Structure 1
């Protein structure tokens, strides 16, 4: 113990106040445990402050402007001007309201809040260093610990986030002026969401991706409408390349991209045409821009905790391995959220946080990922839950599949957003819902119905015979179930 430290004790130590950590702390408080929540930055973590919430705020705002500017067929003629500084100010107000709410909820549930950086000293002790000169530190003894330190953007060689023209997602969400041109490195969900945001502001956007398609991990039929919409927005793609370096020019910067190892660079353009802009597909690309956004993924924040002192093990990527009860290899230490591995989803972390708190309190809780939804807030949105048809076949099912296109939905047509479809997958034996994939308007909201059906073991008949209000987008889920049963009314049956 450091001389001058104050030593206190707690039943449950939670490190990190993101969606996993603060939910774990609140749930533990509800279960009458003495809880201390340590946070070094801001309540709500990266999700509320620098990720999920601010990005969705800017997605919504730029959608409003874009839709207003392209609503001539509805008889609306407008030329909205974007004040990015004002937009970011509104976004910050939303964030402040939510983070302030998290702090109030923690206090209302008896959670002790402690500001600082936590490092483990031994199996039952942690030291919390307070920020600022002369702030010192204190020692905390705990019975159980929940690690919820989250994740951070991955840096790539030669692209230091400390360099002014190189942005991570957090910095991109705080810009106060619209860049004329932007190179986005990475066509995953963060890269594609922000590429669309800036394209709708009028920025010339080029996306570099080392693989051969956007949104790796999602089926082509789901990503195709997103790629087509991106093309329509003027976003250009260069597939099969990796960003190698950048340097300053008289007008901004030049990003140099080289063919990815083992990848055939196709140089796909905004119109989806194949062929490289260079004479030789093996030549580097040189892309001029005002700034560059690096969005190649996120990595766990596990290297700041001195986990060796408490005996917790990580895998070769730094993720903390856990069991179905969120427990690490050390019985009294738990890990939840991004630091505990894929999928790195806020709602997944919240669920794990609740389970960890309940296990510590002696409840028979366990983690079940069967009905865990995943959403990409691109244009249009993509949402999935449960098994795909291929997953179901691999699991030994002989699945039946139903699909309903949004172009056949009256409500979708009245919104002007009719690209995409709903696909449901069910087990042939009994017709139990196994999963769904949706690409289209409000996919993030529609997926909840199928998630509930999967969680409850509902059948195709259950969904198909549930009366859905008309005209709504949710009718598309019902129609997809009816299509799987061979009795859809508003689309041709398979």
Structure 2
């Protein structure tokens, strides 16, 4: 508690306890800093509470339900398969509680002081932390801002009972009969496909000519194929104009090819991006921290803002809004504060969509590599040539390996298929360490595993594939 209004001295104030903030706090504490971390919401941030973790729990349940419905494909019989969505939500909540509890345990173990409440800067060296019970004032030597982001709300589609952001879509008490999704990016596709697997009629309205625009079209085409098997209607080139709500449903008006159309469903999910949490009552202007037009804070290669002892990481700085990017930047910032020469290098940040099939990429595409001056070549190995993929009923997919023809260096990779999210790590490591396609080909990969696909793609790149036929030159 505070006596009067005197400031308490600390080494580091971390604002935000998501995958950026809590990682920064732990790493800084390991390096000898006296740290306090504050968050107005639950510790673990969006990722653990209303983002990455709960969505993957629901996606996992949906995968199991779909598999049970097709049990005969595996020589099994599973009659009268049904969904108790309340229990599915209970399972999701148990996963979230386990993970957030783990974060708090780790913070305590590293002697990080936790504060649940708001933060407001007083000046560049002081901030007030406040909640319903207390309002201590802290003087800090350094500060790391990791306040994350929130779903973008469009004026024609205000969030409410029938119009949902991803947060509400993760917590519906029962399965709807139908759902409209505006936005075919990774969040919209992950959640839309999850509900479709549970039997919900889903319509996706996407303004671009393809879904998952951040991935190669041959990757997203595989996802489209699977979505259509789940009776998902995808409308590309669609411009959503407005919505009318009733107590029971919502009707969206959209334009495609110059023609105006409507579609009605129980709910509308709007997933058109996220907005950085740099506005509100944080008071960045009182600390002298400059914020750009889009609400992003410019930082240097150590995540330092224009105020040299205040750092910013995660969704509030330029770059992809990814949890693992935030965690990476967190460690760089904490180490920079401790005087270490850490700097960011985004060459190997993977991108993953937990669609079905999964999509993952790292490094350059072939086009990007050529634009960077490389004599680049791609080699594409099919999942259908891998025994483990076939046993998992995952023959649809491929791994595309990009390498430099002159040096053999691995430059990038794109994977669409079962467990792509896990497979991409080996290729990120290969790029990070400067490995060649020969290094991968000569590494013995266990059989039968999906990892062999990476080895086979490397052998294909070298011109002597074993489990596929080399294309004619």
Same fold (TM over 0.5): yes
Cα distance between partner residues in 2 of 1:400 and 1:211: 28
8 Å contact 1:69–1:77 — kept in the other structure?
Answer: no
Residues 382 and 438 in structure 1, CA contact (< 8 A), matched pair in contact too: yes
User: What is the TM-score when the length of structure 1 is the normalising length?
Assistant: 0.92
Deviates more, 1:41-50 or 1:137-146: 137-146
Query: What is the distance in 2 between the residues matched to 1:350 and 1:80?
Result: 40
Number of the residue aligned with 1:317? 294
**2:435 pairs with 1:435:** no
- 1:309-365 Cα offsets, whole Å, 9 max, x none, are 111112211011111111111111101111113211111110100010000000111
1:362 alignment partner, one of 313, 327, 339: 339
- Equivalence for 2:91: 90
The answer (yes or no) to whether the contact 1:153–1:297 under 8 Å persists in 2 is: yes
Runs of 5+ consecutive residues of structure 2 not aligned to the other structure: none
Range that drifts further, 94-103 or 77-86: 77-86
Contact 1:436 1:450 in 2 (8 A): yes
Deviation at 1:248, TM superposition (A): 3.1
Q: Is the 8 A contact 2:376 2:404 kept in 1?
A: yes
Query: Of the candidates 143, 150, 153, which is equivalent to residue 155 of structure 1?
Result: 153
Q: Which residue of 2 aligns with 1:212?
A: 209
Give the superposition deviation at 1:251: 5.2
1:71 is displaced (CA, Å) by: 3.1
1:15 alignment partner in structure 2: 15
Decide whether the 8 Å contact of 2:162 with 2:245 is kept in 1. no
Aligned residues: 468
Q: Kindly state the Cα deviation for residue 25 of structure 1 after the two structures are TM-superposed.
A: 0.2
Residue 300 of structure 1: aligned partner: 276
Q: Which residue of 2 aligns with 1:276?
A: none
| Matches of 2:3 and 2:73, distance apart in 1 | 73
**8 Å contact from structure 2 (residues 126, 140) kept in 1:** yes
Cα deviations by residue, 1:14-39 (Å, 9 ceiling, x for unpaired)? 00000000000000000011111011
Q: Distance in 1 between matches of 2:350 and 2:340?
A: 25
TM-score scaled by structure 2? 0.97
Give yes or no for the alignment of 1:400 onto 2:394: no
Q: Tell me the residue number matched to 2:190.
A: 193
Q: Return the alpha-carbon distance in structure 1 between the equivalents of residues 54 and 340 of structure 2.
A: 35
Q: CA deviation at 1:429?
A: 2.2
Q: 1:250 to 1:306 in 2, by over 3 A?
A: closer
* SS in structure 2 of the partner of residue 370 of structure 1: helix
Deviations 1:255-281 (A, max 9, x none): 112x3xxxxx3xxxxxxxxxxxxxxx4
Higher mean C-alpha deviation, range 355-364 or range 75-84: 75-84
Write the distance in 2 (CA, Å) between the matches of 1:473 and 1:203.
31
Q: State the Cα distance separating 1:121 from its structure 2 match.
A: 1.2
Q: CA RMSD in A?
A: 1.4
Q: Of 264, 274, 283, which residue of structure 2 is paired with 1:288?
A: 264
**Aligned 8 A contact 1:402 1:482 in 2:** no
CA distance in 2, matches of 1:310, 1:428: 51
Structure 1 CA distance for aligned equivalents of residues 470 and 277 of structure 2 = 49
Aligned counterpart in structure 2 of residue 227 of structure 1, from 212, 224, 229? 224
Match of 1:445 in 2: 422
Q: For residues 64-75 of structure 1, what are the structure 2 equivalents within 5 Å?
A: 64-75=64-75
Distance 2:390 2:307 in 1: 55
Match in the other structure for 2:114: 113
Query: What do the CA deviations read for 1:66-106 (whole angstroms, capped 9, x no partner)?
Result: 01112322212324211111011111111111101101111
The separation in 1 between residues aligned to 2:262 and 2:83, in whole angstroms, is 30
3-state SS of 1:103 partner: helix
Give ranges in structure 1 of 5+ residues lacking alignment. 260-264, 266-280
Aligned to 2:41: 41
Contact 1:208 1:243 in 2 (8 A): yes
